[in-house]
A and B are shown apart, each in its own frame.
Chain A
Amino acid sequence: MKRFLQHHELARDSRFIRQNAITDVMAQLPDDVDTVVNAFENLDPMIAAGVKGGPLEPIYEAYGPGFGLSILNEPLRPDEEFAELRLRVRMHGIFMGELQALEGAGRTLWDFPDAPWEFKMNMARQCWDESRHVQIFEKLLTHAGGAVGDFPENTFLFEAACADDPVLRVAGVNRALEGLACDVFRDMINYAEKKGDEVMKQAVDYVLADELTHVRFGSEWVREFTKDDPERFEAAKKFQRQVDKRFSVGGTRSSRTDAVIPIAVEDRKEAGFTEQEISELATISAEGPSRATLRKAAEILRERHLARRAQARRDENAA
């Protein structure tokens, strides 16, 4: 078996499709309505293909390619119209993330046979934890009325787990992405509490506990791998910042007042992030378009989409 697998080589059954471009574009967008509209107009064919035959197709038909900027990109609140759909989309994203985290930890075992034994033990333990998380989120997805394969997968998590230096893997996955998981899971626990969903609350609470352990693995191994090597330490920090920025998805996860997913400061502290790191994350993640900008862009995209549909119907009738 070869070493260093690429993200497009992740094996999947026939339920899955992949779409990487949207998160990538979101992470780079400025706070400007026209730029957001143009970017999503360009992505329209890919978005249309990705939702075809799935639960998002009617939403796409009604709202156009910008539905992800408004319908899905709002905080999880039980009493809102699209809350259930938002929850299923998020759970599916987490399911995919856990699957890739399992694959990433497993590949780290294979890719670095000469790594320190304790590091391999930690990665093997993470394999088991991530396996349970995959099972938990598959069940929670069913609990929420969804199913595996309902929404497209993006492989960003595994991309952070492909580096050829193990310190970058733990910096990217265990510190940046498992840190993000702390934010997302705390938000979901809050949602479950508001909704009175004890099943979801307890399941996610256990997963969050595991994530704190994984962040600690990351912190310990970044320290160990980079001791007496400031250059390697800087490379790890830089990579972590890049992943943090990419996964803030244009401020969606941030400490801004309009953030969809707030930074879980207390959980992060418990996981071992310093005040300075949390403050840096707040700065990195605050960049990107405001929700007001995204809503405005989504409105324009919807108007154009409906106009195109109306035109197509007229053309069809004329023909």
Chain B
Amino acid sequence: MSGRRYPGMSPDERTFFTPYSAFDIPQDLREFGGRYDVEAMARRVRNFRYAEEWAMMMVGGWIATIPEVPVKTGLGKIAWECAQAADALGKRLPELRAGRNLNVASESANEGFAQFMQAVAAPEEPEETIEKLVGLFGVLKPHLLDAYEDNGLHTDQITDAPTIELLEDVARRTRRHIAWGKEVLEHLCDTDAKRERARKHEAALRAKLSACGGVTGERG
């Protein structure tokens, strides 16, 4: 191998290294062209953070109202993971030119979604563990998982990579929360009457969620 190792001043003083594009090694198939600009993404992150923050608070509040000890302890961990999700989303906001004050970083997409979250949080009696878990693990979290995955598919794969990676991590934990919740619900809904209770509550919440357009207010 001979030739220049460092470029000189004239065209015939180039180095001998073969040129590669930044996207050739390894081959990068991502393309520009996300659906959301910086401002829109910041708004979505604030919406996601709102959902995670309120999920954390309602789960925390429910622990004392649930008689089943393993459900209490399971929710204790989920409260912390929702908090971590909200925290990570809040830390993304200054990177999207959207302020540094984490206390005001959460924002509901619209009044309807805020009311939906209050409806999910509403069951408070000890007999209502099924309603609590159905709202969180049967409606809210599956919806958030869809929204995070959908966001990952439609945002700019190159310029918005930090949001994608952040939401991939949140989604991974959300999938685990849903699987846990489903297993607990299968155990708790051990009669037709209880399964019917769960189904009715889920349908009512899904209607509210659909009416407000979901966490970002964009889905009918």
Contact = CB atoms under 8 A, between A and B. Distances in A.
Given A121-B87, A125-B83, A1 B76 contact: no
Contact of B60 (A13, A99, A105): A105
Contacts of B122: 1
A142 to B, nearest CB: 13
B73 A102 contact: yes
A13 B127 CA distance: 11
A230 interface: no
Nearest to A118: B102
A interface majority secondary structure: helix
A314 interface: no
Interface in B57-72: 57-69, 72
A206 interface: no
A9 B79 contact: no
Contacts of A1: 58, 61-62, 65, 121-124
Interface string A105-118: 11111110110110
Interface residues on B, range: 35 or more
Nearest to B76: A131
A127 interface: yes
Interface in B24-75: 53, 56-69, 72-75
A106 B73 contact: no
A130 B64 contact: no
A205 to B, nearest CB: 20
A1 B79 CA distance: 16
A131 B57 contact: no
Given A1-B124, A99-B72, A106 B79 contact: yes
B195 interface: no
Nearest to B121: A1
A271 interface: no
Interface in B68-127: 68-69, 72-77, 79-80, 82-84, 87, 90, 102-103, 105, 121-124, 126
A131 B72 contact: yes
Contacts of B124: 1-2
B interface majority secondary structure: helix
Interface residues of A, number: 39
Contacts of A104: 64
Given A116-B103, A121-B83, A125-B83, A109 B65 contact: no
Contacts of A265: none
Interface string A123-135: 1110110111011
Contacts, number: 112
A235 interface: no
A194 to B, nearest CB: 30
Contacts of A132: 73, 76
A5 B79 contact: no
A109 B79 contact: yes
A117 B79 contact: no
A120 B64 contact: no
A158 B65 CA distance: 13
A124 B76 CA distance: 8
A124 B58 CA distance: 11
Contact of B64 (A9, A123, A124, A138): A9
Interface in A62-111: 99, 102-111
A114 B102 CA distance: 11
Which 9 residue pairs across A and B have the least CB separation, nearest first?
A110-B61, A131-B76, A109-B60, A124-B83, A106-B60, A128-B80, A103-B64, A106-B63, A11-B126
23 contacts: A1-B61, A1-B122, A1-B124, A10-B64, A11-B66, A13-B68, A99-B72, A102-B63, A102-B73, A104-B64, A106-B60, A106-B61, A106-B63, A107-B63, A109-B79, A110-B61, A111-B61, A116-B103, A117-B87, A117-B103, A124-B84, A125-B80, A127-B79
Given A106-B64, A108-B60, A127-B63, 19 more contacts: A1-B122, A5-B65, A9-B64, A9-B65, A13-B67, A102-B76, A106-B62, A107-B60, A111-B61, A117-B90, A117-B103, A121-B83, A124-B60, A124-B83, A124-B84, A128-B79, A128-B80, A131-B74, A134-B76
